[in-house]
Amino acid sequence: MFKYILKRLGISFLILLGVSFLLYTLLRCMPTDFVEAKILALNTSGATVSDEFIQQMYKTYGLDGNIVEGYFSWLKNFCQLDFGKSFISQREVASEIFNGDRIGTSFMVAAIATIFEFLIAIPLGITAATHQYSFRDYLVTVLVMIGISLPSFFFGQMLKDIFANKLGWLPVSGMTDATRDYTGFAALVDYLRHMCLPILTVVILSIGGRMRMTRTNMLEVMNSDYIRTARAKGLSEGKVIYKHAFRNTLIPVVTGLAGLIPSLFSGAMITEQVFDLTGIGSYSLNAMTQGDIPVIMTYNMFLAFLSVMGVLLADLMYAVVDPRVKLA
């Protein structure tokens, strides 16, 4: 096991190196960059910009060399845990990205939504599989189609219109009520009320895929020979389903861990935009649109690291879920 982990860590390092080079190359090949946007803004305002000033700006932001030189310069600083400064705010990238309020907001929304997703999707997927072609199976299928088909910006606006604008039960957007100065438990309640609609949006739009995956795998397992043998031995239907069949459906669920871990910190970009949340998703989207390379590189490398760690964790969990799996 230890040898396997060391081998996978070595492969993960090479993957991260390749991801960083590809990401930096794509960013430098964008049609426009941060300096060009600033020059255009200055020209629009009527200011005269000399060639010397433009070259100095490219040098200041580290964009004066070619792509290879720029990449190795970034890599050297990154290995020294120097993530640079944001082009937009001129503050340290680490403090910008790992800001407690910003990444904490995105993590809370994603974590709570993930918990409800599993609590709702897996039982519904199981009941749909065990009652195939029944009313509940068709109902779950409809919910799956809704969750997969609806875009988040449309569904989020629909929830806002119903629960905030028409019924007035929940706030329209934001994270706190700016007209009130809540403290203590009242502030927590106000914060949770503002988070209800974003979390509900993420949960409903994410349970569809999880339900479909659970239903499909349960149907496959329920037709296996050992399930028929368990029933022939006189075991109760509950034991057959939850002790024998469900355990084998955990393998695809474990596979989802690879994408689950980075999703907790990536933020829901569109949902955060719809509900005006100051999360890491909306912040990274703003950095991308303005070509803030230090922020984009650090943010995406953080997600890439979580992704490769998630894949490694999923591989290790296979041996726990299925004793037949041997890691070497």
Single-letter amino acid, residue 186: A
Same domain, 190 and 304: yes
Q: Does 178 fall in a domain?
A: yes
Mean pLDDT of 183-188: 77
User: How confident is the model over 213-227, as a mean pLDDT?
Assistant: 81
Average pLDDT over residues 197-213: 83
Q: What is the mean pLDDT of residues 255-264?
A: 74
For 287-308, what is each residue's pLDDT tens digit? 888 888 888 888 888 888 888 8
| Least confidently predicted of 174-188, 215-229, 292-306, 313-327 | 313-327
* Average pLDDT value over all residues in the chain: 81
154 and 32 in one domain?
no
Residue 259 has pLDDT above 80, yes or no: no
Query: Are 311 and 207 members of one domain?
Result: yes
Poorest-pLDDT segment among 42-46, 158-162, 285-289: 42-46
Confidence bin at 22 (pLDDT 50/70/90): very high
Nearest-Å Rg of the Cα atoms of the chain is 25
In total, how many domains does the chain have? Answer: 2
Domain closes at, from 97, 129, 153: 97
Residues 61 and 13 in one domain: yes
Whether residue 134 is found in the same domain as residue 273:
yes
What's the rounded Cα separation, in Å, for the pair 57 and 42? 13
Write the CATH number for 291. Answer: 1.10.3720.10
Instruction: Identify whether residues 23 and 62 lie together within a single domain.
Output: yes
Residue 55 lies in a domain: yes
* Mean per-residue pLDDT, 99-118: 81
Determine, yes or no, domain membership for 250: yes
- As a whole number of angstroms, the distance between CA 306 and CA 258 comes to 8
Task: From 97, 127, 161, give the residue that closes a domain.
Answer: 97
10: domain range?
2-97
85 and 117, same domain (yes or no): no
Residue 326 falls inside a structural domain: no
For 60-83, the pLDDT digits (tens) are 887 777 888 888 888 888 888 888
Those residues whose C-beta lies under 8 Å from the C-beta of residue 212, and which sit 6 or more positions away, are: 125, 144, 148
Last-in-domain residue among 97, 113, 141: 97
Sort residue 58 into left (φ over 0), alpha (ψ -120 to 50) or beta.
alpha
pLDDT of residue 267: 66
Over the stretch 305-326, which tens digit does the pLDDT of each residue have?
A: 888 888 888 777 776 666 666 6
Q: What is the pLDDT of residue 21?
A: 92
* Shared domain check, 109 and 39: no
Q: Examine residue 327 and state whether it is found in any structural domain, yes or no.
A: no
Same domain? 67 vs 206: no
150 shares its domain with 89 = no
Q: Are residues 165 and 309 in the same domain?
A: yes
CB of 109 closer than 8 Å to CB of 277 = yes
CB 293 within 8 A of CB 34: yes
Asked if 173 and 260 sit in the same domain, the reply is yes
pLDDT value of position 154 = 85
Which two three-digit tokens encode residue 198?
Answer: 């974003």
Residue 47 · residue 316 · CB < 8 Å: no
- Residue 281 located in a structural domain: yes
Whether 236 is in a domain gets the answer yes
> Which of 1-10, 19-28, 40-49, 284-293 is most confident?
19-28
Q: 24 in a domain, yes or no?
A: yes
